[in-house]
Amino acid sequence: MAFEELKQRHAAMWGSAPFERIADNLVDMHETVIRSLDGQPGEKWLDVGSGTGELAMLAVETGAEVTGADIAPVLVGTARRQASESGADVRFEVADCEALPFEDSSFDILSSSVGAIFAPDHERVAAELGRVCRSGGRLALTAWTADGPIGNFFKVIGSYSPPPVAGAGTSLQWSDREHCEQLLGDAFELTFSEHNTPYRKDSAEAMWEEMSTAFGPIKTLLGALEPEGGRALRDELLTLFAESQTADGVTLDRPYLLVRGTRR
């Protein structure tokens, strides 16, 4: 099923805000993904849904030849700028993870840190991951869990968003192991593990300020809602964030599933 209009909206949405500010809070997830893949010098590594490029730039330290791919041109532009500024030798491409512009069996390693999970056609994503990975190659993909604070966060956003497009998958489905097995199990031998990457800010208000200005889905939603709806979204998320208040500020648990695979 084609979702071209939806994907173009997604590209604009993710590119509407400086996501690199959010990516700074995902470093420990990126490091977990990289450790799980044991990259070696000379291997070819593709980071799918690479966003502003932080995981890809860390992956270079393994000695692998790294390519990052993302559907949002603005994010790819930021990734290229950051790589140039840091001296990281990474190639970044604007690419749809449902139709990757790479040859069959062209990569030893595939990674995706809560990136590919947002594409609407899960079957096409899975088929492309299997297609571009060589036999014996490794895959590591992360997905936010449907339960807990991060799942509730996305459910709140969804409750203020337009109705989902018919037939489109949701990102939280990827945290279901059976769903992953159905999508990837024929091509990859899979293992699963659960992790957490806490999001810390001084206050619920500080967390809202960052999310509302640097997280494209919320910034785009606020631009589409009437003022009353925007205030209601803010209040509901502030309440959610405040539930994670500690003596040192707000620590929002963000549990996620790490899906690891070896290409059959």
In this prediction, residue 11 carries a pLDDT of 98
Name the packing angle between helices 4-14 and 216-224 (round to 10°).
100
Question: What's the average model confidence in pLDDT over 145-158?
Answer: 96
The DSSP code sequence of 110-157 is EEEESSGGGSS-HHHHHHHHHHHEEEEEEEEEEEE-SSHHHHHHHHHH
Would residue 243 count as lying in a domain? Answer: no
Arithmetic mean of pLDDT over the chain: 97
Question: What's the average model confidence in pLDDT over 203-220?
Answer: 98
Nearest-CA neighbor of 215 among 52, 7, 47, 86? 52
Would residue 247 count as lying in a domain? Answer: no
Alpha carbon distances (Å) from 186 to 14, 48, 149, 171: 31, 20, 32, 21
Question: What's the average model confidence in pLDDT over 26-51?
Answer: 98
- The model's confidence at residue 1, banded by pLDDT at 50, 70 and 90, is low
Question: What's the average model confidence in pLDDT over 256-260?
Answer: 98
In this prediction, residue 2 carries a pLDDT of 75
pLDDT of 244-254, one tens digit each? 999 999 999 99
pLDDT of 78-103, one tens digit each? 999 999 999 999 999 999 999 999 99
The tally of domains found in the chain comes to 1
Question: What's the average model confidence in pLDDT over 174-190?
Answer: 98
Question: What's the average model confidence in pLDDT over 205-225?
Answer: 98
Judged against a pLDDT cut of 70, whether residue 32 lies above it is answered with yes
pLDDT of 118-134, one tens digit each? 999 999 999 999 999 99
Q: Which domain holds residue 103?
A: 4-147+164-200+254-263
Alpha carbon distances (Å) from 220 to 10, 83, 157: 10, 27, 11
Nearest-CA neighbor of 114 among 45, 174, 157, 68? 174
Would residue 26 count as lying in a domain? Answer: yes
Nearest-CA neighbor of 186 among 131, 145, 121, 105? 131
Would residue 115 count as lying in a domain? Answer: yes
- Whole-number Å distance between alpha carbons of 228 and 107: 49
Would residue 153 count as lying in a domain? Answer: no
Judged against a pLDDT cut of 90, whether residue 6 lies above it is answered with yes
Would residue 18 count as lying in a domain? Answer: yes
Do residues 72 and 14 make contact, with C-beta atoms less than 8 angstroms apart? yes
Would residue 174 count as lying in a domain? Answer: yes
- The model's confidence at residue 48, banded by pLDDT at 50, 70 and 90, is very high
CATH code of 77's domain: 3.40.50.150
In this prediction, residue 112 carries a pLDDT of 98
Would residue 46 count as lying in a domain? Answer: yes
